[in-house]
Chain A
Amino acid sequence: MGKGVLISIFVFSLLAHFSLVSAKYPNQGTMMLRRETFKDKLSEIQDTRKQAIVERVNNTLANINTRRTNNWTQVLEVFTNILNKVEEKKDKLASEGKDVSGVETAIANARTAIQNAETTVSNQAAETYIIDIQDEETLKDSVTEAKNLLKSDLKEVRDIVSEAKEAVRDAIHALNEARAADE
């Protein structure tokens, strides 16, 4: 009787643990399955030269995504630092009684653009690109498809980071105009 209760508690705890883990990382299971499928399909390829290329490309795609998103994360931090300097200078102008309303609007727009870019970059960093191998005949198409998907995703993210950059530039220009207006 007592043994049965203990086993029931153990099984229940185990189930609760797995449900919590899968709730926290909803795509983890799918990702693991895709990785396993990739390895299985890769081992089925007869041509070892092609096998090596596909494995290399698969790893390179992951590396490109990591490298790009890391770089953009750092760049966005610098955007924030630059914007903070602009804000300090704007506050100084305001304390001198100068009209800084245009600068304030531009700074707010830039902060929104940076936040938007940060979210996009963070989501992109969490993406995984695994080549969906069907068979040896369509191998090139499968690899090209994965490459094209990552490439177009990264281009979209880059555009959003670039928009944030231009928003920061607008804030700098607004500050320069506010300075020049009172000189």
Chain B
Amino acid sequence: MTTDQKPLVLSLGTLLIIVMVLLVALVLKNNRYMQPQRSEVTYQLTPTLTSDEEKELDTLDLGDIETEFRQVESDIEQL
């Protein structure tokens, strides 16, 4: 290596190190964002133990008493 080539090699080396650091940072960042996605998939794949009868039971709505009286309460406020 000649004296003239030394600054060029140094620059290329520095550039290489910067590129490597950026690559590592990028990989780490991707891994961090990938984690929740993996959890979500695991959650979706968890088998459910709910039977058909229980599903049918859960579809039955007993009504919301508070909502039923909303209009009446609004009317009473006008008195």
In-complex Cβ contact of B62 among A49, A64, A72, A169 (8 A): A72
Residue B34 CB within 8 A of the other chain: no
Q: CA separation between A50 and B63, bound complex, in Å?
A: 29
Q: Are A165 and B69 in contact (CB under 8 A)?
A: no
Q: Are B75 and A154 in contact (CB under 8 A)?
A: no
* Number of CB contacts from chain A to chain B under 8 A: 73
Set of chain A residues within 8 Å of B40, measured between Cβ atoms: none
Residue A86 CB within 8 A of the other chain: yes
Set of chain A residues within 8 Å of B61, measured between Cβ atoms: 75
Q: Are B76 and A57 in contact (CB under 8 A)?
A: yes
In-complex Cβ contact of B69 among A86, A151, A175, A176 (8 A): A151
Interface string of B67-79 (1 = CB under 8 A from A): 0110111011011
Q: Are A168 and B57 in contact (CB under 8 A)?
A: yes
Residue A39 CB within 8 A of the other chain: no
Residue B24 CB within 8 A of the other chain: no
